[in-house]
Amino acid sequence: MKPLNEFLYYRLEKFFGRVLIANQGERARETPGVRQLRDGRMGSSTDGGERYCIDCPFCGQRGSLRIDLRQRLYIHHLWGVPDPAGGSRWGLIHCFKNDCEHREDFDNIGTLRKLIYAEIDNPTRAKLPIGQGAPPPSEPLPPPPSYSLTQLLAGHPALQYLLGRGFDPGHLSHWYGVSFCVKAPPNIATAGGRIIIPVFQVGQLRGWQARLIGEHPSAPKYYTAPGMKKSQALYGYDYAVCSPVVTIVEGVTSVWRLGAGAVALFGHYASARQIELLLSLPARKFLIAFDGRTLHSDGSTKSDTLESAAKLYHAIRAAGREVAIIRLPDGTQPDGLGAVNQFWPLAEAQAAEQGVDG
């Protein structure tokens, strides 16, 4: 049986060797909005669930990653997975060695978090990939109160919409923290009645978007959190840190479709900061797969898209990485092509033609 959180399991195995699994296959039972978070917000209460047991790196010396061969540090399978209520679940970790003084020290947990989710090649460098002189992350408004997709009744419009597009609501809720807002506060009222998509980067909430259920000619498909700078974020970044090949797409639903290793720019233009984030990933190869368009709903044309793709292509090539531009048929997106199993054959064939294999 595969671990419930394969990403976390294999990252732990990479750095700590043997990983034991407790309660294998058991999914957590959650009650949203009942646990006080450190910043005052209310997060989800978690009961039960699969856990990964490793040699505790905290016992004996504060702040070190010395291995204590007791297999006593238990890490919940939801550790680091976005909480639909707005939390980060970093507290779902515990050492059962009674004299481990620092087992719940948030500095130590932060060091482990950066090792697992951010630092790939050099565990001693616990820094975020922010370049010299880069602006600090923006502070968007927090997401509105919402319900996990797993709490919605069968037949709910949000579930019907996602299922109709071939997405598994349980998967989106578990891996991406996707939820549904019934009614939002007046200052972000547009988010009400929409699917809430949090944007996490290096385990931190960088903003969110609210997706309209279906299409409406007079309403925007996406409402972006006030204060969020889309040009400073990459959707799917945290799940791409272990992928040898990264696929760069425009929208979040294409990330859902393609899975770990796909990141979205929130459009077809890559900012300097987004390029910096892309190059902070250890991937050997990149595929640029923007939407196929003649005239897009945002007013952009095919030539606009190709120009943006070319600029991104040259930036990645200049950094010594392999990269290919995947040209999609007009009117198609990675999301839609992936739903009918046409994206990867197309992408692999075009990448091979450009000398980028695998």
If asked whether residues 237 and 223 sit together in one domain, one would say no
* Alpha-carbon distances, residue 171 vs 155, 251, 350 (angstroms): 17, 18, 30
Q: Taking the mean position of all CA atoms in its chain, how far away is CA 272?
A: 20
Q: Which of 117, 150, 179 is the last residue before a domain boundary? A: 117
23 within a domain of the structure (yes/no): yes
* Domain containing residue 247: 230-358
132 within a domain of the structure (yes/no): no
3-state secondary structure of 241: coil
If asked whether residues 172 and 264 sit together in one domain, one would say no
Task: Describe the crossing of helices 157-164 and 169-176 by its angle, rounded to 10 degrees.
Answer: 100
| pLDDT mean over 330-358 | 92
- pLDDT classification of 88: cutoffs 50, 70, 90: low
The predicted-structure confidence for 203-236, as pLDDT tens digits, reads as follows 788 999 999 998 888 888 999 999 999 999 999 9
Q: Taking the mean position of all CA atoms in its chain, how far away is CA 37?
A: 21
Domain CATH number, residue 156: 3.90.980.10
Task: Describe the crossing of helices 302-318 and 272-280 by its angle, rounded to 10 degrees.
Answer: 50
62 within a domain of the structure (yes/no): yes
131 within a domain of the structure (yes/no): no
127 within a domain of the structure (yes/no): no
289 within a domain of the structure (yes/no): yes
pLDDT of residue 36: 44
If asked whether residues 222 and 246 sit together in one domain, one would say no
Take residue 293 and report the two structure tokens written for it.
Answer: 């368009």
128 within a domain of the structure (yes/no): no
If asked whether residues 296 and 224 sit together in one domain, one would say no
Domain CATH number, residue 348: 3.40.1360.10
If asked whether residues 56 and 176 sit together in one domain, one would say no
Buried b (16+ CB within 10 A) or exposed e, 99-113: ebebbeeeebbebbb
Q: Which of 208, 228, 248 is the last residue before a domain boundary? A: 228
The predicted-structure confidence for 292-340, as pLDDT tens digits, reads as follows 875 454 555 667 788 899 999 999 999 999 999 999 998 899 999 999 9
Confidence check: pLDDT of 126 > 50: no
Confidence check: pLDDT of 145 > 70: yes
What are the DSSP calls for 91-127, one per residue? T-EEE--TT-TTTT-HHHHHHHHHHHHT-SS-TT---
- Cα-based angle 231, 247, 338 (whole degrees, multiple of 5): 115
- Decide: pTM greater than 0.85: no
If asked whether residues 175 and 55 sit together in one domain, one would say no
pLDDT of residue 56: 72
If asked whether residues 240 and 285 sit together in one domain, one would say yes
**C-alpha to C-alpha distance for 11 and 114, rounded to whole angstroms:** 12
Take residue 279 and report the two structure tokens written for it.
Answer: 């190059």
If asked whether residues 207 and 258 sit together in one domain, one would say no
* Partners of 288 in beta bridges: 248, 325
Sequence-distant (≥ 6) Cβ neighbours of residue 347 within 8 angstroms = 247, 287, 289, 326
If asked whether residues 204 and 266 sit together in one domain, one would say no
133 within a domain of the structure (yes/no): no
**C-alpha to C-alpha distance for 305 and 302, rounded to whole angstroms:** 5
Give the HSE-up count for residue 155: Cα atoms under 13 Å, Cβ half-sphere.
Answer: 0
If asked whether residues 103 and 196 sit together in one domain, one would say no
pLDDT of residue 302: 65
**C-alpha to C-alpha distance for 262 and 278, rounded to whole angstroms:** 11
Lowest mean pLDDT among 20-29, 189-198, 282-291: 20-29
Q: Which of 195, 228, 261 is the last residue before a domain boundary? A: 228
Take residue 159 and report the two structure tokens written for it.
Answer: 């579930």
Give the count of beta carbons closer than 10 Å to the beta carbon of residue 331: 11
3-state secondary structure of 210: strand
**C-alpha to C-alpha distance for 180 and 210, rounded to whole angstroms:** 9
User: Between residues 281 and 103, which one has the greater pLDDT?
Assistant: 281
User: Between residues 70 and 29, which one has the greater pLDDT?
Assistant: 29
pLDDT of residue 132: 32
If asked whether residues 260 and 221 sit together in one domain, one would say no
If asked whether residues 221 and 241 sit together in one domain, one would say no
* Alpha-carbon distances, residue 256 vs 100, 241, 247, 305, 320 (angstroms): 39, 16, 12, 22, 28
Question: In which residue are the tokens 């540090």 written?
Answer: 73
pLDDT of residue 201: 85
Confidence check: pLDDT of 120 > 70: no
Domain count, the chain: 3
